[in-house]
Copies of this chain bind each other. A is one copy, B any other.
Amino acid sequence: MQGRALRVAVLGCGVVGTQVVRLLTQLRSDLASRVGTPLELVGVAVRDLDSARAGVDRALLTTDAETLVENADIVIEVMGGIEPARSLLLRAIASGASVVTANKALLAQDGPTLYAAADAAGVDLYFEAAVAGAIPLVRPVRESLAGDRILRILGIVNGTTNYVLDQMATEGLDLDLAVKQAQELGYAEADPTADIEGYDAAAKAAILASLAFHTRVPLSSVYREGITAITADDVAWAARTGHVVKLLAIAEQTDAGVSVRVHPSLVPVGHPLAGVHGAFNAVFVEAEAAGELMFYGRGAGGAPTASAVLGDVVSVARHRVLGGRGPVESRYADLPLLAASAAVTRYQVRLDVADRPGVLAQVAAVVAAHGVSIDAVRQAPQLVPAETPAAHALAHLIITTHAATDAALSATVAAIAELDSVTRVVSVLRVEGA
């Protein structure tokens, strides 16, 4: 049953690419037996032949990516960025190659073009590594749950921000220090914008939502809010009220349509996502019949990402040997995409208020007047002793609401801020997973 070897080309030889090459080499015989025929690495496209790549045979390197992809059965794209990755993938597809990519930015921005091209050419386009690194998510969501209805996905899909928030929670660091520490440990880039502003999570949320709801979710319709406004105080108060702060990618389907958003969220400590520490990722799925599921693992890194890539390579290679194709992404329904303001969730609002009787009642009345229902109110001394004279002492009021729309909540908060007894709206955070 060992037929002609399949010719495999790798585009890009950075952190992930070198690990892909390592696994292709080290697991050669295992891969051949799982595929049914050998996988022959025919070349690795790089920009510059002279940069050193540990463990990669220099004879495999080429700068002529175009020729490489046109002579391969399987093209693995781990170069990242939009161009030339897109053109090379389209060229590979056009010449009949099956393609595997880890490129979340490209898929979030222009996935439909690639999916349509693959569908038209009758080849596989696999992208497990683009969603949550090593965590198997694409197969579970689009195959294992294909006979169920996914209601909601809550994902910790960015390891950098999870590391930062976890350090803030466990070490009491403020954001800047935690980011600095993440940079020193290699968990954050020198320019951490893509991570801490939520751009990376938003790209993954778009891909995840498309998969989960079999619809087209352009990146531009994903509401995005990063963690830059989160303070040590927010994290400390979260703990006091039985929560942890997590940056969540959220995709929900209701009768009205699909809502996709990325923002910091308060997660109850008993929720499985609350126990996801350090740079780990996890995706929590609620399905109608399956109930609650969670997938946990490393969302980034050379070897973990390469593992996901190689799993895809085995799948597409098996299809070339045995026939068949994976699920096709271009056959979408086009469900309505809801604005983030339509999302209905619980909120926790923290206020500095005058420390005198009646303030709580006054605030509660304003909340009720806006049709927002209160789950709990807690009044507490401020964490740091106020330096104001006793006559002007402030108290801290923490209001947790039942589910409300973003619009209703915004109007409520604006009205609260107008009250004489309210000195400051300290923070407004969504509560998810409760």
Contacts and interface: CB of A to CB of B under 8 A. Distances in A.
A172 B34 CA distance: 48
Residue among A298, A307, A331 facing the most chain B CB atoms (10 A cut-off): A307
A429 to B, nearest CB: 23
Interface stretch (A235-243, A288-296, A369-377): A288-296
Interface in A244-296: 272, 275, 280, 287-296
Interface size class of A (residues with CB under 8 A): 35 or more
Nearest to A282: B294
Nearest to A133: B290
Q: What 4 pairs across the A-B complex have the smallest Cβ distances?
A: A324-B324, A147-B310, A136-B144, A136-B140
Residue among A297, A303, A304 facing the most chain B CB atoms (10 A cut-off): A297
Contacts of A291: 134, 297-298, 301, 303-304
Contact of A309 (B135, B147, B280): B147
B327 A324 contact: no
A145 interface: yes
Interface in A92-132: 128
A27 interface: yes
Interface stretch (A187-195, A313-321, A347-355, A414-422): A313-321
Given A290-B308, A293-B135, A327 B323 contact: no
A91 interface: no
A146 interface: yes
Contact of A143 (B145, B298, B314): B314
A100 to B, nearest CB: 10
